[in-house]
Amino acid sequence: MKAIQIKVKGKVQGVGFRYYTKQKADECQLSGFVQNKVDGSVYIEAQGEDADVDTFADWCRLGPEWSRVVECKISDMPLADFTKFRIK
């Protein structure tokens, strides 16, 4: 198990990014959350099996087709007490 935090910048708000992020997280069986930030970025915390987290992180670098990811910063974090993945 591992946990990561991701900050995604670019055209990532108003394009369904959070909805598709939750869909991908559920598909990868991850727990955590995604939320819009006031600076126009999207912030994500996700945890699960290593390979699933890696697959999810790769997806976040691209995002859904309507988005345009300019920057994607990913860093490890301690495991949290998440039970499911949700949109904040």
Assess whether 61 carries a catalytic annotation. Answer: no
18 as an active site residue: the answer is yes
User: Could you say which of 18, 61, 68, 86 is catalytic?
Assistant: 18
The one catalytic residue in 36, 61, 68, 86 is 36
Q: For the CA atoms of 52, 1, 82, 47, what is the dihedral angle to 10 degrees? A: -40
Domain ranges of the chain: 2-80
Q: How many residues does the chain have?
A: 88
Would you tell me how many other CB atoms lie within 10 Å of the CB of residue 31? 19
Q: What is the pLDDT of residue 88?
A: 96
Residues of the chain with pLDDT under 70: none
2-80: CATH topology is Alpha-Beta Plaits (3.30.70)
For tokens 């949700």, name the residue: 86
| pTM passes above 0.75 | yes
What would the pLDDT profile of 48-66 be if each residue is shown by its tens digit? 999 999 999 999 999 999 9
Amino acid at 67: S
